[in-house]
Amino acid sequence: MAAEKHQPGKAKTQGDRAPAKGEHTRPEWAEGLRALYDSVVDEPLPDSFKDLLDRLDDPTPNGTS
């Protein structure tokens, strides 16, 4: 059985491999960030924001008649 050389700063874990050419790797935190983003996108728009958007869409100056 041949002894493996240990390289300082390189922890060897099972399943470590170099990415294949053209293969993209994601950092560990990327999946959590994606889940957080998706949860924010799925939140309903508050009524106050809907009212503000309606006023901004109103063609009259300052939203008054």
Task: Calculate mean pLDDT across residues 39-55.
Answer: 93
Tokens of 8: 């300082």
Residues 20 and 11: their CA atoms lie apart, in Å, by 20
Residues 12 and 17: their CA atoms lie apart, in Å, by 10
Has residue 53 got a pLDDT over 60?
yes
22-37 pLDDT tens trace: 667 889 899 999 999 9
